[in-house]
Amino acid sequence: MTIRSKAPLRLGLAGGGTDVSPYSDLYGGAILNATISLYAYTTIEPTDDDRVEFLAPDRGLKETYTNAIEVDTDGYFILHKGVYNRIVRQFTHRPLSLRIASFVDAPAGSGLGTSSTLVVSILGAYVEWLKLPLGEYDIARLAYEIEREDLGLAGGKQDQYAATFGGFNYMEFNGDNVIVNPLRVRQSHIDELNHNLLLYYTDTSHVSADIIREQQRNVRQGNAASIESMHRLKDQAIQMKEALLKGRVDSVGDILDYGWQHKKQMASSVSNPHIDSIYQAAIGAGATGGKISGAGGGGFMFFYCPGLSRFAVRSALTALGGETKRYEFTSEGLKTWTIQ
């Protein structure tokens, strides 16, 4: 028997950072994101040798444990181990025997929610295998707890819910309460957004936890400029929702630019001279707005390119050393299946 799962990565279109505590606890956060056709994949093969093997086939890495009621959370497989420990502790109460392998369509630190999406994918495979009674909200919440509480990794809440639910969603965050509002965006508007949004990999990565910790520190210390920028990003999520639902797709670029100008005020490491030069090159070539995906500092950026300007923008950005990436928006979230 083989169990498989896949969960989609996401583009954070608006409101990024307002899902992070303590801002979301104090003021409430709002995010608008959409999943894309890049995925985190997991395969579980049950065994009978009382061993658990963690595999990264794309990297040639493996770690093995025997009769493990709990495994250490060191090394490359920290996310896999965190999920395994929680599954054993909360559900099976006994060691499991399996091989579990995973890979992701984008590199770590790319800003597309890779870590959280991988946790959702791994968790989904266990849910499929063990027939755990967990719905979408349960899976997303458990994935969040594993990352943020069990493993102590800094970050927000949006990625786990995006990967689990899929599609275009307007999400509201108030303390521990999360509400996912699926948006009924017309397919023609989605197609136009697909046509005009250019996804660009800067050929750099970031450590999102460092940026998020600075953002959290700014809120705790009452940094007025940082907090005001998060208020404006929450407003941006509302603007983006209205634009997509009403079909004002060509206003997306201006809304992205509005958010980008405020996002840079959240923490000093959100942008840097290289990212600024990429942004200016895209605008100079015809883009009307854009942003970095995720916390900032590196990874993917995306730009709204009206008409046929994507070709000039792509040429300008390629000259800076990165590469554009093809994708489509997706309507489905976490998927799991079993092969007998």
> Would residue 159 show up in a list of annotated catalytic residues for this protein?
yes
Q: Is 194 left (phi over 0), alpha (psi -120 to 50) or beta?
A: alpha
What are 38's two structure tokens?
Answer: 């890049």
**Among 30, 26, 22, which residue's Cα sits nearest to residue 259?**
30
Taking the C-alpha atoms of residue 34 and residue 162, their distance in angstroms, rounded to an integer, is: 7
Assess contact for 301 and 316: CB atoms under 8 A.
no
Q: Which of 19, 105, 159, 235 is catalytic?
A: 159
Joined tokens for residue 247: 């079909």
| Short-list 135, 145, 150, 121, CA closest to 180 | 135
Q: Is 253 left (phi over 0), alpha (psi -120 to 50) or beta?
A: alpha
Token look-up 């630019």 returns 257
Cα 85 from Cα 93, distance rounded (Å): 10
Question: Which residues belong to the active site?
Answer: 159
